[in-house]
Amino acid sequence: MTKIDIFDTTLRDGEQSAGINLNTGEKLEIAKQLERLGVTIIEAGFPASSPGDFEAVSRIATTVKNSTVTGLARAMQKDIDVTWEALKHAENPHIHVFLATSPIHMKYKLNKTPEEVIEASVAAVKYAKQFFPLVQWSAEDAFRSDKEFLVRIIDEVIKAGATTINVPDTVGYASPAEYGALFKYLIEEIPNSDLVKFSSHCHDDLGMAVANSIAAIENGARQVECTINGIGERAGNASLEEIGVALHIRNDIYQTETGLNLSEITRTSRLVSKLTGSPVQPNKAIVGKNAFAHESGIHQDGVLKNPETYEIITPELVGENKVPLVLGKHSGRHAFKERAIEMGFDLADDRLQNAFVAFKELADKKKEITEEDLLTLLTDETLEV
Ligand code: KIV
Ligand code: ZN
């Protein structure tokens, strides 16, 4: 089994979602739940960005013991100093320093030459290393960077003391095959690549963040950066729950171990949704309201005979309650009968048939058949035979 470290950035990149703003108490509550979920690293914030973020990162660093806590910093001494102040009492101090490496970012955003970007990155890593045993360096917009330039700069930051190298697809532009190939290339070409851990960090602009993260793992990444419910800048980050469950369910092909307590996933998702005010789309894999709901008659009949006909994941695996069969216009007699029995009505065949016909008529007119609707149908004396 290959160990994959789960680097959760819900409290940093996730909080960068438009409209999300968490206070220290809320961040602390989420961090404690992430610790229960068993994530390896919690990116608690960007301490130099605001006094509120500084306070939240310091509080989380002194409270959380079973996950490593980190903070983001630009490649400059003042950010590293502030981050050290916030993290110096952490069990296992870790810093995440980043600088952009793509031509477009270097020219228009940083106004630096590639040589200056190497120099600033090396200086930042060396400086951070005086305080932090664990220094992660990120090549922002790595996927759109020149590959040979990435080899050069990563080689230099490894020599400067970086312990983790993050290769983000900052704008969510990569395809799985391309992103995987980039990891393979870097790991093969960088002389001391075996001294560090390679990390993926994917955004979901083209809906490929989870697939790209998994492609990175297949090609040597040993850390994945992700967020609960996939929240994050623009279309969001790779979703932690989807990566964690995909690696578990398809362990036959991936052969990995994340250390996640999967039964905490639903609770964590609900907490993050509640505190961020960001609802989860109903059809979201793993944590959406409909993720385990079967509506059509053919599916319901199959699941009643053997859940494995249509369920590859049990709700229990992720700490979700067994979801009752949803009764709608596509539902069949088998599901209707089961639901009636669950509600305490063991009706004779003719009586059940009349109630089922009435149910179908009603289901054609309504979006959702409620418990009250069913009760009315099942107790309707005019449907007696
Ligand atoms: O998307 C990105 O490149 C980032 C970096 C700061 C790692 O979030
Ligand atoms: Zn990001």
Collapsed DSSP state (helix, strand, coil) of residue 162:
coil
Most informative mutation of 12, 79, 109, 138 for ligand 1 (most atoms within 8 A of CB): 138
What Å distances lie between residue 352 and 58, 295, 324, 327, CA to CA? 62, 20, 19, 15
Q: Does any ligand 1 atom lie closer than 6 A to the CB of residue 225?
A: no
Q: 349 among the known binding-site residues?
A: no
Mean pLDDT of 296-314: 94
Q: 237 among the known binding-site residues?
A: yes
ipTM over 0.95: yes
Atom in ligand 1 nearest the alpha carbon of residue 142: 3
pLDDT of residue 147: 98
Cα angle at 43 between 39 and 46, to 5 degrees?
170
Whether the Cβ atoms of residue 202 and residue 237 lie closer than 8 Å to each other: yes
Ligand lying closest to the C-alpha of residue 167? 1
- 105-150 pLDDT per residue, tens: 999 999 999 999 999 999 999 999 999 999 999 999 999 999 999 9
14 alpha carbon – ligand 2 mean position (Å): 8
* Predicted TM-score (pTM) of this structure: 0.95
Whether 295 shows a pLDDT value over 90: the answer reads no
Whether the Cβ atoms of residue 105 and residue 140 lie closer than 8 Å to each other: yes
Most informative mutation of 121, 201, 233, 237 for ligand 1 (most atoms within 8 A of CB): 201
Element (H, E) at 45: strand 41-45
pLDDT of residue 322: 81
Mean pLDDT of 39-64: 98
- In the structure, ligand 2 is a single-atom ion and the residues with CB under 5 Å from it are 13
Atom in ligand 1 nearest the alpha carbon of residue 12: 8
Q: Does any ligand 1 atom lie closer than 6 A to the CB of residue 204?
A: no
pLDDT of residue 384: 76
Mean pLDDT of 347-355: 92
373 alpha carbon – ligand 1 mean position (Å): 50
- 356-377 pLDDT per residue, tens: 999 999 999 988 899 999 999 9
Atom in ligand 1 nearest the alpha carbon of residue 138: 7
233 alpha carbon – ligand 2 mean position (Å): 7
Q: 380 among the known binding-site residues?
A: no
- 157-177 pLDDT per residue, tens: 999 999 999 999 999 999 999
List, as one string, the DSSP characters of 154-190.
HHHHHHHT-SEEEEEETTS---HHHHHHHHHHHHHHS
H helical segments located in the chain: 24-37, 51-63, 77-87, 103-104, 114-129, 147-160, 176-189, 209-218, 240-249, 251-254, 265-276, 297-305, 333-342, 349-365, 371-379
The single residue listed with the structure tokens 């089994």 is 1
Cα angle at 177 between 236 and 233, to 5 degrees?
10
Q: Does any ligand 1 atom lie closer than 6 A to the CB of residue 13?
A: yes
- 56-76 pLDDT per residue, tens: 999 999 999 999 999 999 999
pLDDT of residue 325: 83
Q: Give the number of C-alpha atoms closer than 13 A to the C-alpha of residue 338, restricted to the C-beta side.
A: 16
Q: Does any ligand 1 atom lie closer than 6 A to the CB of residue 138?
A: yes
Partners of 165 in the β-ladder: 137, 198
